[in-house]
A and B are shown apart, each in its own frame.
Chain A
Amino acid sequence: MRRTTLIAMGAIVALAGTAGAQDDADALKVGMITTLSGGGAGLGQDTRDGFMLAVEQADRDDLEIVIEDDQRKPDVAVQISDRMIQQEEVDILTGIVWSNLAMAVVPGALARDKFYLSTNAAPAQLAGRGCDPNYFSVSYQNDNLHEAAGAYASQEGYENTFIMAPNYPAGQDSLTGFKRLYEGDLAGEVFTQLGQTDYAAEIAQIRASDADSVFFFLPGGMGISFLKQYADSGLDLPVVGPAFSFDQGILQAVGAAALGVRNTSQWSKDIDNQANRDFVESFEAEYGRLPSLYAAQGFDTANLLISAMDAASIDDPDAFREALRAADFDSVRGDFSFASNQHPIQDIYVREVIEEDGVFTNKIVATALEDHANAYVDECEM
C-alpha cells in the first residue's frame, strides 16, 4: 500500500516533535484520492503533479495534503475516504479521476459535511438533482466535451456522422451529449465493449456506411488502439472526439496515426494567458514533461482552493463555500466562473494534433462553444 504524506512546510514537522497537542489545528487538510497504480495511473499522476505544483508554488504552512492510491477500484476508494475522514480528519476531498469511483465516494463524503472539489469526474447525477452545496466540479460537466464535439461537427458542415462509444454509463452519456448539439444525421451509432482492444469490426462498419465523418469517445488505451487501426485501414474520413484520447500522456503512444485529428477540450497548452504560460513552463521544469489536461485541472483545483483559503477559514463553512463559489483565481483556462450548480462556465476549444519538435501535441484551431455551462443547471435546486 502506497502512502505519501506531503506537508507543505517543514516547520510543522519540527513543531510536532515538541508538543503532541500542537497538531496544527489551523491547517486545512486535503485528502487526495487518485489512481497511481495499474493501467490508469498516468491520469492520476498528472492530477497529483498538477495539484502539488500549485501547492508548492503557494508555499503555505497552513495547508496539508494527504495522497493515496485508489487503484481505480471503487471499494478501495471508499475505504480510503472513510479513513481520511475518520482518522485523518481531512476537511476537503479531491482527486478522483473516474466517474464510477466518484459516485461511490462523493455522496458519502458530502453526507459527512466534507467539501469535495472534483479535478476530473463530473457525472450528471451530481450536476442535476443530486447537486450539493459542498460539491464543486473544477474540470467540467462530463457531457461538455461531447456537446462541443457535436456543435463543432455541425459547424464544419458534417451531415452524416458515424458515432461510437463504449457501452457503459459515461459512453452512453457521451453519445447523448454529442447528439444534443449535433444537427446532422447519423450514419451509424455503435456501442463497443468497455476495454475493447480490437476495432476491426467497427472500422469495417464505418467503411460500409456512407458516413462523412466519425465521432468517437474511447478513453485511454481504447483510443490508442482505435486510432492506430483506423490509420492503417486506409479510411480517411475526418475524425473528431473529446480530448481524452488525445491527451499529452497518450499521444506519444498513438504516434503519427493521430496527426490532424480534431478534439475538443476546455484546456490546451497554447491558451494565451499569463497563468497558462507560467503553468506550462513551471510544470515542464518541475517534471520534465508537458502537462496534460488532467495536470491543468489539478493545478486549477489547487489554486481555487488556495484562493478560498485567502478569503475565508474552513472553520466557517458558509463563508468558505462562498469563497469557492467566487472562483477568484487565475485559471489556466482564462475566464472561469461557476454556474449555479457549481460546475464551470467556460469556453471549449477544438484542438488539432500536431507534431512539434519531435513531440506530438495539440494546438487550438477553433472555439466550439463559448461560455458554456451544462444541461443540468435547471434540475439542480440548492
Chain B
Amino acid sequence: MALLIEQVLNGVQSGVMLFLMAAGLTLIFGVMGLINLAHGSLYMVGAFAAAAVASATGSFLLALVAALAAAAAAGALVEVLVIRRLYARDHLDQVLATFALILIFSEGVRWIFGSFPLFLDIPAALSGPVMLGPITYSKYRLALIGIGLVVALGLFWLTQRTRIGVQIRAGEADREMIAALGVDIGRLYTFVFALGAALAGLAGALVGAIQSVQVGMGEPVLILAFVVIVIGGIGSIKGALVGALLVGLTDTLGGVALPAALSLVMDLSAAQATGAALAQVGIYVLMAAILFWRPRGLYGHG
C-alpha cells in the first residue's frame, strides 16, 4: 500500500513537471498555430542557466530566476529572429526550421559549456526525505508537485481573468479579428512565446536538480509533451494539466505494474523485459484510445 501511494506521488510529480513543458507548447500551438520542436531546447537552456548561476552564487533561488530569465530571453529572441517568419508557412516548414534550432541550441550550449554534464544540486533546505504517515518521500519531489500546481493556478488565472488572457484566447479563436480590434498581434505572439519558453526553462531547472544537466536533455521530454497536448486538446491549459497527469501516472505505474503482473505467468527476467517493453508503449496506447474516443483530445475545440 505504501508502495502504491509512493508510486502515485511519483506519477503526479512527473506529471506536473510535464505540465510545465506542455503548457507552453500548447499555448504556442494553440495561439500561433506553430509546431515548435525547439521547445525542448529552451528546457535545456533553463537547466544550463540554472546550473551555471547555482555554481557561481550557490543560491538555488537565484538559479531559478536565471533559468526563467534566460529561457524567456532565448524564447523572445528566437521568436523575433526566426519564428515570426514561420507563422504563415505550413507545418512542414515550421518543423524543418525548429529542428534546425534544436541543432543550433545543442551545439551552441556545447560550445559554451563543453561536452560534459554540469552539476546542479537540490537546495539544502529541500534535500532528504520526509515522513508522510507510513510513507517516506523526497521533500524536493513534494516541492515540485507544489510548484507545478501553483504555476497551473497562475496560468488559469492569467488566461481566464486578465486582459492579456482574453487576448490570448481571442487569438486562438480568430487572429484577424483581434488584429482588426487594434491588438498588437506581433507583441502578443512574442509575449506568449517568451512565456512558454520561461515555463520550459523553469521545468528544466527544477528537474535538472534531480537529473543530469546535459546537451540533448530536452528532447525526450519534448516527445512526451507533444503526447500530452494531443491528449489534452491543442490550445487548452486544462487539457495540458489533465493530459500531463494522465501521462505521468500511466508512465510511472505502467512501468511497475506490467512487469509485476507478467511475472505471475512467466519467469522474472522475461517478465521484466516484456513488461518494460510494453510499458514504453503504454502512453501511446493511452493516446490512441483517447483520440479514438475524442478525436480532438479531451478539451479540444470544435
Contacts and interface: CB of A to CB of B under 8 A. Distances in A.
Interface of A: 37-39, 41-42, 45, 167, 172, 175, 186, 189-193, 195, 197-198, 200-201, 204-205, 207-208, 220-222, 224-225, 228-229, 232-234, 249-250, 252-256
Q: Is the interface of A mostly helix, strand, loop or mixed?
A: helix
A50 B277 CA distance: 37
Given A201-B256, A221-B211, A250 B217 contact: no
Contacts of A195: 220
A229 B273 contact: no
A38 B102 CA distance: 11
Contact of A190 (B117, B211, B220, B272): B272
A167 B277 contact: yes
B276 A39 contact: no
Contacts, number: 137
Nearest to A198: B14
B251 to A, nearest CB: 9
Contact of B119 (A39, A200, A220, A255): A255
B28 to A, nearest CB: 23
Contacts of A39: 214-217
B212 A200 contact: no
Given A41-B215, A205-B256, 6 more contacts: A37-B110, A197-B220, A208-B3, A221-B211, A232-B138, A253-B119
B50 to A, nearest CB: 13
A204 B216 CA distance: 27
B2 A208 contact: yes
Interface residues of B, number: 51
Nearest to B216: A39
Nearest to A205: B256
B119 A191 contact: no
A220 B213 CA distance: 11
Given A37-B107, A221-B117, A233 B212 contact: no
Of all A-B residue pairs in the complex, the 3 with the closest CB atoms, nearest first, are A224-B212, A234-B129, A253-B117
A221 B118 CA distance: 10
Contacts of B119: 252-255
Interface of B: 2-3, 6-7, 10, 13-14, 106-107, 110, 114-119, 121-122, 127-129, 136, 138, 140-141, 207, 209-217, 220-221, 252-253, 255-256, 259, 268-269, 272-273, 275-277, 279-280
12 contacts: A37-B106, A39-B215, A198-B14, A201-B253, A204-B3, A228-B212, A232-B210, A234-B138, A253-B212, A253-B214, A255-B119, A255-B121
Contact of B117 (A189, A205, A224): A224
A261 B299 CA distance: 48
Contacts of A228: 121-122, 209-212
B13 A200 contact: yes
A221 B212 contact: yes
Contact of B127 (A186, A198, A205, A232): A232
A237 to B, nearest CB: 14
Contacts of B272: 189-191
B287 to A, nearest CB: 17
Most buried by B among A41, A195, A229: A41
Contacts of B216: 38-39
A39 B41 CA distance: 13
Nearest to B280: A193
Contacts of A190: 259, 272, 276
Contact of B122 (A37, A41, A222, A232): A232
